[in-house]
Structure 1
Amino acid sequence: MPDRHRDARERRQRLLRWLPAAVIGCAVVIDVFVPTSVNVFPLLAAAPGVAAPLLSLRGTIATGVAANLAGLVLVEVEREPARGDLVPFTSLVLLTVVAAVLNVLLARDRRQLRTSREVAAAVQRAVLPDPPRRVGRLSVASRYEVAHEEAAIGGDLFAVHETPHGVRILLADVRGKGLQAVRTVNVLLGAFREACDHQPDLPGVVRQLENRVQEGAARATGAEAEAFATAVVAELPPGRSELRVANRGHEPPLLVHAGTARALEPAVPALPLGLGLLGGDGVPVDRFDLPVGATLVLFTDGIDEARDERGAFFDPAPVLSRPLPPDPETVLDTLLTAALRHTGGHLHDDAALLAVTRLE
């Protein structure tokens, strides 16, 4: 589904490539059909500059040559060329050279940014592998949408593990980006895996995550010493429909079932992981019913803080409040497609999404 938005962006880019030619054509039309004498050389001079960020180096130079030829033809049609015409034509040549240099610089920057994004995406996949498609009684789907404006490695993470105590789920958003965020992500993923094997209850899992984040911050310096993460930690015990959720300052997950999407708000707000020393020792755990066919949807703030061109935030609940198949892949495709449509085809911040559907 999100491929539609990529196709739309590609169509827009293809249309924009015709803009330099349209500028030259506009200059010719104005010169031919406007009865009074109008100097269209400023418009012709703009064509190479318009081409520089849109076309290749060859296309930029070709645009400059076409602008010069169009100007020469217009002069020949109207009158005999004069010595005074050397100034505008020389300016066109110089502007074409400047546009070509600008094109080379922009192309180099794009290559560097593309390489940075590819490296960031590769590291992200290595640090955060996709969970299995089925874990215990749950069908699982995940997405990681990288913001187009960013080339840094994000701090969003998710994990699903089957344990003797049930299926345990983690989705978190670490403060910051880059290597500092990656280290905290690794800490949380390792601590969650260890806690799933050794902690008999959900509060124990949360306390272990809290301790690991605090220990990592105590050994760090600079911004990493202030690391924290908002998180949702959930558990579905064996043979039961009771979903237990510990929300640590994160966006509430959505429970999608029977054509409605309901936010699972915590009864008692709790501080993010890493800031536990500022609050009490307790770990609030909320309990909800997760019937067969229901889907739990978790996401980071790249989704619900996505804005449209007017600055309005995206609300995921209405998008999922309609009949949907009990399939986590379809649910995430529907949500992500709507978010991308809301923002015009791209997100402004990384977004991690995780959906689990109870099968039995």
Structure 2
Amino acid sequence: MTFGLLSRPAPRVALPGTDAGEAAARAPRIGNGVLSGGLALLTAVIVSLDVLAGNDLRLVPLLVVAPALVSVFGTVGQTAVAGAWVTGAAVVTRAATGGTTWDVVSSIVFTLFACLLSVAACALRIRHATEIARLRSAAVALQRQILRPLPIPTDQITAHGTYTPIEEDRLVGGDIYEVVQSPYGTRVIIGDVQGKGLPAIGVGFAVLGAFREAAIREPSLTAVVDRLEDAVVRQNAFAAQTGDTERFVTALVLGFDEDGRARAVNCGHLLPRLLHDGVAVPVPLRRTSLPLGLAELSGEGRTAERLDFPPGATLLLFTDGVTEARDADGHFYPLDARLSRWARRSPQGVLDALEHDLEAFSDGVRRDDVAVLALRRSSSAEPAPPVPAGREAALAAEVLSGR
């Protein structure tokens, strides 16, 4: 989570469902051919060393390491096969080398007991992995139900986007987005909840619910943000009662009215990027306020400001899963340099290039959710006509007041 003031200069969710997650947990990570060859080679080596060592040193019991290793990477069936193999090898070897009855029986019993422990350990590992897969799938399914599929067309804009969760059970993030058609135009939010896990998803759901309600009811963009602030404060009050962690939410809230004007309220979120005429530049929002849930720390109210969004341009909104992605050497993803290469592409083309480039840059290792929206004016939406001189002062006062 990064404050905008301190930031560094169909969602596509390829996730396993519950059944797929359980199947992945149960799938072997070693092939049967490799297993058979490894067991044969290990048995040959240890038995040969045992024969060379003579009766003074018995090495055959060391074969029990085979099912122990298989239990870490294989299935229960593979572990049982390895255990049966090792037990059979122990019986044949002890019968061939002879010895007292006690020595033979104790050696075989020890081998059998160790093999049974390996099978039990493998079963427990797979059970735990299956539970984790179920939890992960449930958390991701919850996120997918909360966030609407993209693209989302409205009268003023079309919102393309992509959303890629981190896919870890305890690291499921709280990235959110929404696009609402209201009587006052289109309202858009993208945000990032502090922290991770199911509690973060709960806060994100509270913000989305408040936004969907306020976006339709409130005529002022700042009034919409005030309702979001109230939602986070209520959620934090409930968290304090239950002993959970209080959280804040960075958010960027945009409004696009029927006259083609665009406005923004930035609550500590990353600055959007404008791609137009082959150039990609950060949008200079100068009135960044504190994140949602922290308004009481500042005596200044939140205000909306005008946003330059010409026809044919793409407005890119994103969370810090993009800017804080790192390569193998720990370098942050150079977003602005990359966007300059794709500034003439369509919104979907930019998203495709960004998604593939992020994957290659981080070598598939994600540390946070990635949410990106690419906004383009609808073909029917035209920019506002020139404002008569007599109304300029009134509009300026309206913007300053956050209306």
Q: TM-score, normalised by structure 1?
A: 0.76
Task: Measure, in 2, the Cα distance between the counterparts of 1:182 and 1:120.
Answer: 8
* 2: CA distance, partners of 1:257 / 1:48: 62
Q: Which of 185, 189, 206 is the equivalent residue of 1:166? A: 185
Note closer, same or farther for the CA distance 1:190–1:313 as it changes in structure 2 (3 Å cut).
Answer: same
What root-mean-square deviation, in Å, do the aligned CA atoms of Structure 1 and Structure 2 show?
A: 4.0
Following the alignment from structure 1 to structure 2, what is the Cα–Cα distance between the partners of residues 306 and 51? 35
Equivalent of residue 235 in structure 1, options 248, 255, 271: 255
Mapped to 1, the partners of 2:87 and 2:337 lie a distance apart of 55
Tell me the residue number matched to 1:7.
none
Query: Rg bigger for which structure?
Result: 2
Aligned-partner Cα distance in 2 for 1:334–1:197: 34
- Equivalenced residues, count: 348
Aligned to 2:206: 187
Name the stretch that deviates more: 265-274 or 307-316.
307-316
Deviation of 1:57 after TM superposition, in Å, equals 0.8
* Residues 155-212 of structure 1, C-alpha deviations (whole Å, 9 max, x = no match): 3211111234332210112234456434433332232223322433433332332233
Deviation, 1:325, is: 6.8
Cα 1:15–1:185 shift into 2, 3 Å? closer
For 1:226, the equivalent position in structure 2 comes to: 246
Distance 1:203 1:2, change over 3 A: closer
**2:321 maps to amino acid:** G
Supply the AA of the counterpart residue of 1:230: T
Match of 2:231 among 212, 223, 248: 212
Query: Normalized against structure 2, the TM-score is what?
Result: 0.69
- CA gap 1:121/1:179 in 2 versus in 1, 3 angstroms: closer
Please state how far the C-alpha of 1:341 moved relative to its aligned partner: 3.4
Tell me what 2:401 maps to.
none
State whether residues 68 and 115 of structure 2, in contact with CA within 8 Å, keep that contact through their aligned partners in structure 1: yes
Q: Which 10-residue stretch deviates more, 163-172 or 62-71?
A: 62-71
How much identity, in percent, do the aligned residues show?
31
Alignment match, 2:333 = 314
Distance 1:53 1:28, change over 3 A: closer
**Residues 28 and 108 of structure 1: is their aligned pair in 2 closer, same or farther, counting only changes over 3 Å?**
closer
**Given the alignment, which residue of 143, 148, 165 partners 1:146?**
165
Query: Which piece of structure 1 moves more, 178-187 or 200-209?
Result: 178-187
Separation (CA, whole Å) in 1 of partners of 2:320 and 2:39: 45
The aligned residue for residue 97 of structure 2 is 81
Indicate yes or no: 2:133 matched with 1:111.
Answer: no
Please tell me whether the aligned partners of residues 228 and 272 of structure 1 are also in contact (alpha carbons under 8 angstroms): yes
Q: Distance in 2 between matches of 1:197 and 1:328?
A: 26
SS at match of 2:131: helix
Indicate the larger mover: 150-159 or 50-59.
Answer: 150-159
Q: Which of 21, 27, 51 does residue 42 from structure 2 map onto?
A: 27
Aligned to 1:133: 152
Structure 1 pair 137–312 and aligned structure 2 pair: CA distance change class (3 A): same
Q: For 2:309 and 2:372, how far apart are their aligned partners in 1?
A: 19
- Pair 1:297 & 2:316 matched: yes
Pair 1:123–1:323, CA change in 2 (3 A): closer
How far off its partner does 1:92 sit? 4.8
Q: 1:37 & 1:261 partners in 2: Cα distance?
A: 73
Q: Is the 1:187–1:213 Cα contact (8 Å) retained in structure 2?
A: yes
- Is the CA contact 2:28–2:74 (under 8 Å) kept in the aligned structure 1? no
Letter in 2 for 1:255: L
What 5-or-longer segments of structure 2 have no aligned partner? Answer: 1-11, 15-23, 380-403
- Mapped to 2, the partners of 1:107 and 1:284 lie a distance apart of 53
Whether 1:340 aligns to 2:359 is yes
- Aligned-pair CA distance for 1:233: 1.0
CA 1:211/1:31 → structure 2, altered by over 3 Å: closer, same or farther?
closer
Q: Secondary structure at the match of 2:169?
A: coil
Structure 1 unmatched runs, 5+: 4-9
Q: Does 1:323 align with 2:342?
A: yes
Is residue 115 of structure 2 the alignment partner of residue 96 of structure 1? yes
